Structure 1
Amino acid sequence: MVPGREQPNPAAHPRTLPHWVWALPPVLVLALVFLYPLALVVQQSFSPDTGGTSLSPYRTVFASDAFRDALGTTVWLAVGATVGCLVLGFFLALVISFVPFPGGKAVAKFIDVFLSFPSFLITLALLFIYGTVGMANGVWTGATGAHSGPFQFLTTPWGVLLAEITYFTPFVMRPLLAAFSQLDTSQLEVASSLGAGPARIVRRVILPEALPALAAGGSLVLVMCLNEFGIVLFTGAKGVNTLPMLVYSKAILESDYPAACVVAVVNVAISVGLYSIYRVVSRRVGA
């Protein structure tokens, strides 16, 4: 002991826990509520009703016309809805951010509220308007005396596409509105003073700044459309069979749980693959 120097007290400086200890609780919760059920689904997909472990459920499902039809319908609906949401969302966000009109801030706030709506609620609203006994057909039959109205598209793939675009467009608008709020308006003023028209300003100034937000919103919409179930179910589109609907029909209607798990595994694999591609591309472009 050195005279006149206070010795450190070990009790005054307790040892801190390693950082990985704090990660254990959320990892355990994630494993319990997500990874374990997912592992059971994967295990069931390799367990035919005859017993044992086999690839026969995969061979049976992949060879069926219902699976190929559901896969093609799911992909084209997801891609079509994503493109529609990107175009419509970019236009609406552009108007809200750069075109002054009364109530613009209220509309922007409503977008946040719209994101909390369940998908079936938007579908029901469309059914009230364009359904077989909806308002549009009611006005038509009342004015013409016909037995039925001309609006019968909600039970077709185009009706599902319209419902998905209506519901998912705000998911593209929200990141776009955030990106536009950070855009330096002096760039727009300089471009306008140099004689650039509105279309050129949008193409040369606004669109490059909006590309990361468009990529983020579009990727989110694409993955959500691939897994959408409520919209297809509530539109009553009997001829529209998607992968989530095939999981439902195999598990609930046919009690074919191995086949349902196979379709679910394929759906998860597509979603995770698309997300991985998005992450790789976003890192390379610096988004």
Structure 2
Amino acid sequence: MTGLALSVAAPPRARNPRRARAALPWLLPPLVVLLGFFCYPLALVIRQSFVSDDGEIGFSVWSQVLSSPEFLDAAWRTVAIALGATVGCVLLGTFLALVIAFVPFPGARALSRLVDTVLAFPSFLIALAFTFLYGSAGLVGGGFLYSHWGVLLAEITFYTPFVMRPALAAFGQVSPDQLAVAASLGARPWRVLRQVVFPEALPSLASGACLTMLLAMNEFGIVLFIGAKDVITLPMLVYTKGIVTFDYPAACAIAVVNVLLSLALYGTYRWAVAKAVKGGGRAVVDAA
């Protein structure tokens, strides 16, 4: 009887209409700010993307933009650079976080603080520093800086701390007892990392990777300051259409595509993190 009673779900609490009405005034200010500063401008951009230069409303702007080789090349290059920067940041950031978290050496705390400082820098400083180092008149020289490889290297340099910081926090939450038990069972260091450390840190790594890809996909300052003429991404194409050629309908259509790509990536990020949190806590070391 006791087990039967415990298995019965408790009835949901009835909502208090008076409390809901009392909370409504507190919801209005953030709702007004959201509608006025985000939804309304976004609605204007979407509307403008369906209005041609002649004032006709239709899909002519979208058909012209989506079939343009310039747009297709920019979309492909944006995704390729964002994916490459994310992979590079995950590999480099995870390696540096592992070294700082598990390899004791003098200056580890200072290096961790330096990472926090780099997070506050604007992205164009990295591009400016790379210009002084690898530009045509820089210390090292060479023309690779003005290619997609230069943009990719600059983005990896700038966005690695965005992966490294959550990875450091996740590695710091791993219990030393788990590592000691795994080592006492004869597990090698790589096996401990694969079956104990990485499953615990997977949600943080996924979060940092998706944040990096979102930022890299919408990066504008690095590409603009490096001045790579052959590297045209979607944000650069929006700038070119809207500011240089004054083609506002095309610029709005490209901006909407960029927003949709970002939303799709954010949805993928939420799915990946939820899946990682659901299955990450059940990993154990099987040293038999």
Superposition TM-score tier, normalisation by shorter sequence: 0.7 to 0.9
Question: Following TM superposition, by how much is the alpha carbon of 1:173 offset from its aligned partner in structure 2, in angstroms?
Answer: 0.8
* In structure 2, distance between residues paired with 1:257 and 1:18: 44
Structure-1 residue corresponding to 2:231 = 240
Unaligned segments of structure 1, at least 5 residues:
1-14, 138-150
Show the counterpart of 2:158. Answer: 167
| 1:196 and 2:204 aligned | no
How much has 1:286 moved relative to structure 2?
A: 3.3
Matched ranges for 1:3-18 at <5 A: 18=22
SS of the residue corresponding to residue 144 of structure 2 reads coil
Aligned to 1:3: none
Per-residue deviation, 1:223: 0.9
- Report how far residue 123 of structure 1 moved: 1.2
Q: Secondary structure at the match of 2:228?
A: coil
Residue 4 of structure 1 aligns with which residue? none
Q: Distance in 2 between matches of 1:181 and 1:282?
A: 19
Q: Matched residues in 1 for 2:265 and 2:72: separation?
A: 19
The letter of the residue matching 1:61 is V
Equivalent in the alignment of 1:83: 87
1:131 counterpart (126, 131, 135)? 135
For residue 25 of structure 1, the aligned residue among 22, 26, 29 is: 29
**2:39 corresponding residue in structure 1:** 35
**2:120 paired residue number:** 116
How many residues are paired up? 261
Q: Distance in 2 between matches of 1:225 and 1:16?
A: 41
Q: 2:85 touches 2:216 (CA, 8 Å); kept in 1?
A: yes
2:50 is the counterpart of 1:46: yes
The residue number in structure 1 matching 2:212 is 221
Secondary structure at the aligned position of 2:255 is classed as helix
Of residues 264-273 and 26-35 in structure 1, the stretch that sits farther from structure 2 once superposed is 26-35
User: Any gaps of 5 or more consecutive residues in structure 2?
Assistant: 1-18, 279-288
Report deviation, 1:58.
Answer: 0.2
Match of 1:105 in 2: 109
1:49-93 Cα offsets, whole Å, 9 max, x none, are 111311100000011110000000001000111111111110000
Partner-residue secondary structure (3-state), 1:135: coil
Structure 2 Cα separation of the partners of residues 279 and 206 of structure 1 = 21
Q: Deviations over 1:202-261 (max 9, x none)?
A: 122211111111110011011111110111111111000100000011011111000000
SS of residue matched to 1:286: helix
RMSD: 1.6
Aligned twin of 1:153: 144
Whether 2:175 is the aligned partner of 1:184: answer yes
Q: Return the offset for 1:99.
A: 0.7
SS at match of 2:127: helix
Q: Could you tell me which amino acid in structure 2 is paired with residue 256 of structure 1?
A: D
* TM-score, normalised via structure 2 length: 0.87
Give the aligned partner of residue 142 of structure 1: none
Give the % identical residues: 55
Distance 1:189 1:264 in 2: 52
Structure with greater Cα Rg: 1
Shift of 1:17: 5.8
Q: TM-score, normalised by structure 1?
A: 0.87
CA contact (8 A) 2:100 2:108 kept: yes
